[in-house]
Amino acid sequence: MLRRIVKLSVRNNNCVIRNCSQFCENINKNTSLQSTNYIQTVENSLHESNNSVLEPLNEDISHVSTYLKPTFNFAAYINKSETLQELLKLGVHLYKLEKNEEIVQFILGLKFENIKDHILFLNDLGIETEKIGEYLTKNPLILKEDVENLKIRINYLKYKKFTDDMILRIVQANCFWLTHSTQQIDEHLGFLQNHFGLSGNEVRLIATKSPKLITYPISKVKLNTFVLKEEMGFTQEELKKIILHKPSILMKGQHRILQAFEYLHRSMNIPLERIVEEPEILTCRKKRLMERHLFLVKLGRDQFDPKKPNYVALTTLVSETDSYFSTEIAKSSIQAYNAYLKSL
């Protein structure tokens, strides 16, 4: 900034002052008073000294700083706010909440007296005290919900014959579940039951296995259903078996599962019936699937028929580490596997 002033004022001081004034007017339009004061301090120094701007200033302007945009964090309030102190004691990671300005403003406006019941409610559900902080870090907006409404949502699940253990599993695995209304949850459970021909027990099984599926957009579930049925060729009964075994597959990207399917079915010649038995194989990235399959081919161990000797389960291509896969499944070594990957 001072360099600009120097360029404008090499010829004479009067010209400098006029240009500085104009510069200040432009700054005023876009910056705060603090930035303007910086320019004004320099300008006043020029007026008072009558010295060339090429000469060093005698006046101390170390107190002047450039303008900083306001930040949204809890540091300035932590010593004065009982709410922030109690949330810290619970293990809430406040720094993670600072990424959202609206949440920061919401938390700062809370009184601890008003959220005690929320904490007791979560604890009564069976969430351990040390895990409540993690829960609130992921979904602080549950503190906006009326506790009575939260109790109604739990009572709804009990009415639908979910056990206490099921409810605890659901609430912990999907911390946003309780911020959905009873009507929304009922709509999603009803959709799954009707769309896939599920019994009450099967609906409860899926909801407990994959709680996030119940709050997942229905439109996206329909799209994945279309891909599984129309593009991959699974029947309605096969589709039902797949989602009972691996319900989270309905939340995977369509392109990813389609790529995995095409490699399994066309390159590895795996029949649909085998995929139905081990549907988690569809969640594997095509690249990883291909790397492991080709390594087994190289070793002559690509035998995926359970009725024949040296059978290799499809799930081992997905779930195990490279070290385990190379030594226990491929009967080779991690060094050999890594060398093979580099050769691809």
The predicted-structure confidence for 86-99, as pLDDT tens digits, reads as follows 999 999 999 999 98
**Using CA atoms, how far apart are residues 272 and 279, in angstroms rounded to an integer?**
10
User: Is 111 within a domain?
Assistant: no
Inform me whether the pLDDT recorded for 262 exceeds 80: yes
Inform me whether the pLDDT recorded for 7 exceeds 90: no
User: Is 170 within a domain?
Assistant: no
Angle at 46 between CA 41 and CA 52, to 5 degrees: 140
Dihedral angle sign, alpha carbons of residues 99, 102, 108, 113 = negative
With a threshold of 0.75, does the pTM exceed it? Answer: no
Ordered DSSP codes for 281-318: GGGS-HHHHHHHHHHHHHHT-----TTSTT---GGGGT
Question: CB neighbours of 95 closer than 8 A, spacing ≥ 6?
Answer: 73
Residue of higher predicted confidence among 242 and 44:
242
Please tell me the least confidently modeled range out of 3-7, 153-157, 180-184, 339-343. 3-7
Look at residues 49, 67, 88 and tell me which one is the last residue of a structural domain: 49
How many structural domains are present in the chain? 2
pLDDT above 90: percentage of residues in the chain: 71
**Using CA atoms, how far apart are residues 292 and 87, in angstroms rounded to an integer?**
46
Structure tokens at 27: 């700054």
Domain containing residue 344: 284-344
User: Is 24 within a domain?
Assistant: yes
Look at residues 49, 68, 83 and tell me which one is the last residue of a structural domain: 49
